[in-house]
Amino acid sequence: MPLAYYLAATSARLGDEMVAFTLVLLVLDRTGSAALAGATGAAYALPAVLTGPLLGAWLDRTRYRRTALATNQAVLVVVMLALLAAVGHTPSWVTPVLAAVAGATLPMVSGGFTTILPRLVPAELLPRANSLEAASFGAATIAGPATAATLAATVSIEAAGVVIAVTAVVSILAIGRLPALPAGEPAPLFSSAIAGVRHLVRTPPLRASTTTTTLLAGAMGMLLIALPLHAPSLHVPSSAAGYLWTAVEVGSVCVALLSSRLQTRWRPEHIVIAAAAAYGVAFAFWPFAGSFAILLALAVLTGAVEGPLLPAMFAARQRYSPIDLQGRVGTTAASLRVGAAALGQAAAGLLVSAIGTRGILFLVAALLVAAAGVGIVAGGVNPRRGSGVGRMSAKPLNT
């Protein structure tokens, strides 16, 4: 994987992972409102549901991919600094509106970088590149919440916001070092976006993988609200929840780096479904943790069982999509995950007062197991005969 790509993508993802956690802490610290924290997180993520397919269609046909990725990071710098000035000092509606502005181009981070990877890496190196790409996501998820938690505890939550702006600037500088990529075939933007959605919906293994990971993202969104509120029950500050996300990703990255062989032995959508189910079973033990140290250990083990999921998700897109559709498929799938996470945050903000944080943890475990079951149905997976993948070739379509 080119060093400039890794630096650009990881820096952008680091800031993105910090944003989700920092916004929750910032709103809770200044207003004490779990509902507003959930609404702000939802506002940051929900616009991506509409913009993702269009952005993907544009990325597939434009020669200005680097400019688009850099512009997204510049928007984040401006909005993050505005949020630091506005939260708690302006009417409550201002905070989610500002978050929505930054969220409109969010699929550029969650899907846009990954879609250019097959254009930078030879096809025979893609399994290894997918593992490194998963490690990039994991490294950002490890460092992001932990950095935000540490800064919030030792300096201030405002310092975390400033660091988010700095990571975006670093990403912009690294994006400038990426090679220019050729433009795709010209086509009307809206019909191109529809073509990506149609391909995702009509391709059973993509449908299985995307359905499973979308529901998984909704469950993870609930945790963004629940964990900071759950931490004080274990005699640690709310900011310590960031270390739980770090622990999950430590386990996940360690396994993801070793998972490239799985991609050659098992269908990627099967790996996604199995990992999601195992993830849910592992989360079922979280409500019983009697101390923060025990919960940290559980978090590492939970991340380990989820480790193969992300590389398999990338492999499913690459294997079952022609290269000229991968931008649209990637950003559309990313927008669905981001939107689901937003709804999860909003739901948790409303539910936590009724069922408590332990109730939310049980609900997350149940949703993850259900996500695997829905994925099986969506993809027509048959344990004996493989899957209803439409008898597609096992060879990647982009070779």
Q: 26-35, 47-56, 103-112: which has the highest mean pLDDT?
A: 26-35
Model pLDDT, residue 370: 94
Residue predicted with more confidence, 394 or 163:
163
SS3 104: coil
SS3 385: coil
Nearest CA-CA partner of 288 in 239, 210, 361: 361
User: Is residue 79 a contact partner of residue 101, using CB atoms and an 8 Å limit?
Assistant: yes
pLDDT, one tens digit per residue, over 239-286 is 888 889 888 888 887 787 676 566 667 888 899 999 999 999 999 999
Residue predicted with more confidence, 317 or 262:
317
Collect all residues with Cβ–Cβ distance below 8 Å to 31 and sequence separation of at least 6: 37, 87, 88, 92
Angstrom CA distances, 244 to 4, 37, 145, 292, 298, stand at 29, 19, 8, 9, 9
* Calpha distance 135→145 (Å, rounded): 16
User: Is the model's pLDDT at 162 over the cut of 50?
Assistant: yes
Q: Assign a CATH topology to domain 3-387.
A: Growth Hormone; Chain: A; (1.20.1250)
User: Is residue 327 a contact partner of residue 115, using CB atoms and an 8 Å limit?
Assistant: yes
User: In which region does residue 329 sit, left (phi positive, over 0), alpha (psi from -120 to 50) or beta (all else)?
Assistant: alpha
User: Is residue 280 a contact partner of residue 367, using CB atoms and an 8 Å limit?
Assistant: yes
Angstrom CA distances, 188 to 64, 191, 196, 202, stand at 17, 6, 13, 21
